[in-house]
Chain A
């Protein structure tokens, strides 16, 4: 691999500069997609390369898929090895905030996180504006990939959080409302995530509450009715452990997690299920040559080939319109692929609303579900 990388490095620097290729390709990007920095001069390829690029992702299939997909193709093109870091998405954000404030180099070079966190990072100026010249695959993104107004991050995939159940233990009607999980028959067997969005948004929609305008106390009171039914809370790992230990038979989690566990079924209630985004950003305060290649990594992550691999590997819907779609996603409301699908089956909350209220809603949600 090192031999190959060295040769590739020589081939690139000996013939056509990488930045030149990018500058030529950028002409293909539609001008409508312009939240991202559109510097008149394409960024020059730095003289030196970083020894490695540290990319934060989730563990498990996320780590494997990114390692085999975007990281492998990035290394093949640049000769720079990629190290995957699986620090918790919320913990890494705190570390970056502290690093940027202390004017130290952030612990990672690229962050894969959830959309609202990437938006908060942009507002807090702990991420750097992305350079359109380096993102040659930008033109292939759907509107979800690069929402209007974003300058410092790109969405790289979307996920949904339907109701997942173990069909060997319980059955569920073909069409349900979110009110179903409040049924006492699920008492002691219900899993909910430890983050508010997966349950607060559906319950608010069920109660016809406007997240932006209304007092959400009734929604938290409704969620608190589940307090004695919940057998476990946590992240995807805790859901899987709970299912395997027989402590959980029904829960709210990623459709992708249910797919990975196998033998589970999922259902999108009539109100829809939360559709969120995973996004990538480059922390502020990195040396210039590192941030250059960090953006190149993001460009690799949104390429059609790697987006197809991402969809197949972790079961999240791609944002590159040219990406191949795995058969299991087609026609399944838990994997909304188009704007129309999302409008029909999804509950989408604006990232700024989510990010602004994270502290308040998370505190109220934790108090509502915990004993």
Chain B
């Protein structure tokens, strides 16, 4: 009969307990916070390496036929702005940014009241119902969700059929900016509502009641109480939704019928159809820098506003 180390499992547990005790030891207390952030730090470092690699590729010329890297050059960045394709790349970039900003703005307008309704409604049934409706888009995969919209927005889909009843032929909006916009909005609004809900929940309802008692209109209550106090949640929602929209791929590809590509679609084409990793890297970095600036800019402006106007007044 073969010897079996039956106590092996117990020894491992003892070892873990010992390790835990050592970690709790006073001399390790100081480095424990660093240990806790270490995994996140490693992940971010790996991402940084990836971005550095993209940067390295983007500053070299590249022969796609021979698959050979050339000398350091600004060739890839020049291609993004110079003829014959530069104008198209820049159009794609501006379409991506404008559409993302628009969808994010409309999502905020629609998502915040939805979050408020869920938090403040006294009806448990309504709260659950609205929450379920918000969560449904997340329960299905992105491709399934996008194809569901494809079926609705097509000429031979539900929208085309309804418009056909009024004598409007080919009334579908696939392949149009409106079609892509609706598809993106349907994902963004629930996301905003879910991200803003905790912030709204933290607002004391008595503040609203007090303001109303003092004669404030609902619009004033929103402007002076709800929006300022929900600001942390709103800011988080703007960052998440804007970044997700800027990186959108499926909606422009499927609902745009390939006619209204976003930067992510074009980067995909550059990588695969053109086999040019170097040009794709350059475009990826341009998008990364611009989207980072877009995220940072409002925070910088708000900070400046607080420093120079609000703080001075008080």
Nearest-neighbour CB distance to chain B for A117, whole angstroms, equals 8
Task: Digitize A72-114: 1 where CB-to-B-CB distance is under 8 Å, 0 elsewhere.
Answer: 0000000000000000101101100100000000000000000
Interchain CA distance A93-B79 in the complex, whole Å:
23
Q: Which of B243-258 contact A (CB under 8 A)?
A: 253, 257-258
Nearest-neighbour CB distance to chain A for B94, whole angstroms, equals 12
- Looking at the complex, which of B155-163, B196-204, B206-214, B225-233 is the stretch in contact with chain A? B155-163
A124 and B154: CB pair below 8 A?
no
B156 and A367: CB pair below 8 A?
no
Interchain CA distance A194-B279 in the complex, whole Å:
18
Report if B275 contacts A (CB, 8 A). Answer: yes
B84 and A364: CB pair below 8 A?
yes
Interchain CA distance A43-B64 in the complex, whole Å:
33
B155 and A247: CB pair below 8 A?
yes
B67 and A245: CB pair below 8 A?
no
CB closest residue in chain A, given B89? A367
B174 and A94: CB pair below 8 A?
no
Q: How large is the interface on B (under 10, 10 to 19, 20 to 34, 35 or more residues)?
A: 35 or more
Contact of B154 among A246, A358, A371 (CB under 8 A): A246
A358 and B257: CB pair below 8 A?
no
Interchain CA distance A362-B260 in the complex, whole Å:
17
Interchain CA distance A97-B271 in the complex, whole Å:
12
Interchain CA distance A126-B66 in the complex, whole Å:
10
Task: Digitize A120-142: 1 where CB-to-B-CB distance is under 8 Å, 0 elsewhere.
Answer: 10011010000000000000000
Contact of A90 among B154, B170, B257, B273 (CB under 8 A): B273
> CB-CB < 8 A to B73: which residues of A?
none
- How many A residues, CB 8 Å from partner? 38
Report if B87 contacts A (CB, 8 A). Answer: yes
Contact of B274 among A188, A242, A356, A363 (CB under 8 A): A363
Contact of B157 among A245, A355, A356 (CB under 8 A): A245
CB closest residue in chain B, given A227? B259
> CB-CB < 8 A to A247: which residues of B?
154-155, 172, 174-175, 257
Report if A339 contacts B (CB, 8 A). Answer: no
Interchain CA distance A238-B273 in the complex, whole Å:
16
Interchain CA distance A97-B63 in the complex, whole Å:
13
B258 and A367: CB pair below 8 A?
no
A194 and B258: CB pair below 8 A?
yes
B88 and A97: CB pair below 8 A?
no
CB closest residue in chain A, given B272? A90
CB closest residue in chain A, given B265? A370
Task: Digitize B86-108: 1 where CB-to-A-CB distance is under 8 Å, 0 elsewhere.
Answer: 01110110000000000000000
Report if B190 contacts A (CB, 8 A). Answer: no
Nearest-neighbour CB distance to chain B for A129, whole angstroms, equals 18
> Assuming the A-B contacts A94-B275, A123-B65, A124-B67, are A245 and B155 also in contact, with contact meaning beta carbons closer than 8 angstroms in the complex?
yes
Contact of B88 among A94, A120, A355, A370 (CB under 8 A): A370
Contact of A232 among B66, B175, B269, B276 (CB under 8 A): B175
Q: Which of B163-183 contact A (CB under 8 A)?
A: 170, 172, 174-175
Interchain CA distance A102-B217 in the complex, whole Å:
66
Interchain CA distance A359-B156 in the complex, whole Å:
37
> CB-CB < 8 A to A370: which residues of B?
88, 92, 258-259, 261
Nearest-neighbour CB distance to chain A for B281, whole angstroms, equals 13
Report if B150 contacts A (CB, 8 A). Answer: yes
24 contacts between A and B (CB under 8 A): A91-B272, A94-B271, A94-B275, A194-B273, A231-B259, A232-B175, A232-B259, A233-B258, A242-B257, A244-B156, A245-B156, A245-B174, A247-B257, A358-B273, A358-B274, A359-B65, A362-B273, A362-B274, A363-B85, A363-B270, A366-B85, A366-B266, A367-B87, A370-B261
What are the 5 A-B residue pairs with the smallest beta carbon separation, nearest first?
Answer: A367-B88, A245-B154, A90-B272, A246-B155, A232-B257
